[in-house]
Amino acid sequence: MDDCPIVETAALSPAALDFSMREVARRQEFSAIWNERLNAVFSDVAPYYGIASNVASLGLCNVWRWQFVSFIDARPGDRVLDVCAGTNWVGIGLLQRQPDLRLTALDRSEAMQAVGCANARSLGFHIESVINDAHALPFPDNSFDVVSLQWASRHLQVVQVFSEIRRVLKPGGRFFHSDMLRPESRVVEALYSAFLRASVPLTALLFRSGADARSCCDYFVRAIQLFYTASELTALLRALGFSDVSVRRAPGGVLACHRAVKR
């Protein structure tokens, strides 16, 4: 991840530059995990990722996934890129709603995509799979009508990734984002962190996760504590040049769905 090209700071607005400086702090704290452990973690959990996520969230994960899919206004024939696609849950959900979409899934984990492609084939869907880092998307400018990204931004350098997403979107293209966020309320944040500190290790124990996954339990909590609130993410998208930014928040601000348009 450290070897990926970095957005030129001269090309950023003052507001975006401020966010870029905040990204430096996140990268300094998490780069070792991002570069050395996360791929092993997702290779380990790939076979049971869906059910484990649902267990850890007390059943809410599937609800949030369906809400995100319904939030995406893909149109007939759209070319869609699902970034950090994992096991292709979002792509499959979109194809179930709109079978004529041209869908590409990108993820750095071959193990997650192997599960995702098998899931798609079992339902009769074709999803083009690309194994690549999200920080340097291997597509020309203005390639996609829609880009989606769920459950991954807190593990990424978001200024870089969102800038790449804007680059590959066609003018007027739509970006849809959903992730667990840092709550704006200090009380909710404390309760949320306490819940995660209990549920993440318990889920790892129940599913007999490997050493890499178990060693990252504290990281999954800390990654949210150093991430953005829904309001901050809205400001970041606008600072990077997106327009018509709208947001749908979950209770307490623990999660939100954003929609943004490339000018």
Alpha-carbon torsion angle 91, 95, 98, 100, nearest 10: 110
Domain boundaries, the chain: 23-262
Average pLDDT value for residue range 115-124: 97
Closest C-alpha among 41, 56, 123, 45 to residue 89: 123
Query: How far is residue 215's CA from residue 195's CA, in Å, rounded to a whole number?
Result: 18
What are the distances in angstroms from CA 247 to CA 170, 201, 227? 21, 31, 17
Percent of the chain with pLDDT over 70: 94
Give residue-wise pLDDT tens across range 217-227: 999 999 999 99
Give residue-wise pLDDT tens across range 35-93: 989 999 999 999 999 899 988 888 888 899 999 999 999 999 999 999 999 999 999 99
Closest C-alpha among 109, 106, 100 to residue 81: 106
Report pTM. 0.92
Average pLDDT value for residue range 243-255: 94
Give residue-wise pLDDT tens across range 177-229: 999 999 999 999 999 999 999 999 999 998 989 898 889 999 999 999 999 99
Dihedral sign for Cα atoms in the order 14, 19, 20, 24? positive
pLDDT score at 4:
45
Q: What is the CATH number of domain 23-262?
A: 3.40.50.150
